[in-house]
Amino acid sequence: MPTRQRPDHPGPATIRDVATAAGVSIATVSRVLRGRDVVAETTRDRVLSAIEELRFTPSRLGRSLAERQHAASGIVFPDLSGPYFAEVVLGYEEVASELGRSVLILSTHGRRAAREMVLDLAGRVDGMVIFGRTVSDEVVEEVAAPGLPVVMLARPTIGAVDSVNAENRATATALTEHLLADGRRRPVLVGSPESSPDVAERWDGMAAALGAAGIGEPKRVPAGFSVEEGERVVGELAAAGELGPDGHDTLLCANDELALGALSALDRAGVDVPGDVAVTGWDDVMAARYAGLTSVRQPMRELGATAARALDERLRGDRSEPRHEVLPTQLVVRTSCGRHEEETP
């Protein structure tokens, strides 16, 4: 077999180089590449060895442009920090890549350029998953308008797009009832419902239980989602003497990190947990277990995986009606809200 020529142009070998080397047309090379059409055995072999010799890999760009599809999908979230987003993204990546799609991630970091970033992403994927607290409804519709399949995550749906959520209300009610049964009567809600649809639903569920128990509108303290935020706002509450025997006896935090920060602040302020104050979080991250924090377990990986499957169905046209999935969550009671059945770490 004669030695193939190297391409006489810079950069990696192209389909034309292979065609020349194998003495066939690019159409034929494309055929053996795709494997769909029939190609004569001997021709195929010649092409194959030319491919091997030139170390040819078809250009994704060329292919995608011709096929009019990226074979990729994206996921947009506000921030990857904390176990919650990381786990959801992992669950998403795992399924998406199994389904043959590359995954692009985009964290908006609360930047104002979020719209532009999401629009740019839209030009690189066949569909995308968007977390609730990243961009406005208008942007979601702008993205979905040209027919790009979109799945909302942790966000009640918008228009006809799919959505995947974890159950919030009912479990929040159950959590609150548990605290009420324990004699807690003066709760504070720590977190900002307007910052996240999930949190808003949790607050609703909690408020429902409190209302049913004849407890009026509880105090609400706005806060971000970090340990530092928890330390800060609860530190301030403690300093103001609003916690303990003379004040509030329960801290219902919007997520675990906030609750963990609350725990630190309380410890520093000398407030006994759960004696003086009960603390609850949400998400059941790994640290919650070791901190003895009562929380609510979300199926984080499964949330991402479910979104990936929903998107896939749309992408392959298996389904045209919007679907709204709600995954179950589970109350996990630990020592931070009283001495109940303890769970060994």
Partner DNA sequence: TTGAAAGCGGTACCAA
Partner DNA sequence: TTGGTACCGCTTTCAA
Q: DSSP states of 152-179 as a string?
A: EESS---TT-EEEEE--HHHHHHHHHHH
Task: Give the residue, chosen from 214, 216, 317, 345, that forms a contact with a second copy under the rule CB under 8 A.
Answer: 345
CA angle 307, 330, 136 (to 5 degrees): 40
How many residues sit close enough to a second copy to count as binding (CB under 8 A)?
57
* 107: contact with a second copy by CB under 8 A: yes
Residue 64 or 81 with smaller CB distance to DNA: 64
**Counting contacts by CB under 8 A, is residue 228 touching a second copy?**
no
Decide: 249 and 237 in contact? Cβ < 8 Å.
Answer: no
Which tokens hold the place of 137?
Answer: 């409804």
Binding mask 8-47 vs a second copy (x if CB under 8 A, - otherwise)?
---xx-----------------------------------
Beta-carbon-side half-sphere exposure of residue 252 (alpha carbons within 13 Å): 32
Tokens of 197: 């649809």
Pairing of strands 150-153, 162-166: parallel
Asked whether the beta carbons of 244 and 277 are under 8 A apart, the reply is yes
Q: Residue 72 binds which one of DNA, a second copy, none, with CB within 5 to 8 A depending on kind?
A: a second copy
CB of 257 to DNA, least distance (A): 42
Tell me how far, at minimum, the Cβ of 64 lies from DNA, in Å. 8
User: Among 124, 186, 220, 323, which residue interacts with a second copy (rule: CB under 8 A)?
Assistant: 124
Pick the stretch among 25-33, 57-65, 173-181, 187-195 that binds a second copy (CB under 8 A).
Answer: 57-65
Question: Roughly what angle, to the nearest 10 degrees, separates helices 26-34 and 41-54?
Answer: 90
Strands 295-297 and 102-107 turn out to be unpaired
- Positions that interact with a second copy (CB under 8 A): 11-12, 55, 57-62, 64-65, 68, 70, 72, 79-81, 83, 85-87, 89-90, 93-94, 97, 102-107, 109, 117, 119-124, 145-147, 227, 260, 263-264, 267-268, 285-287, 289-291, 344-345
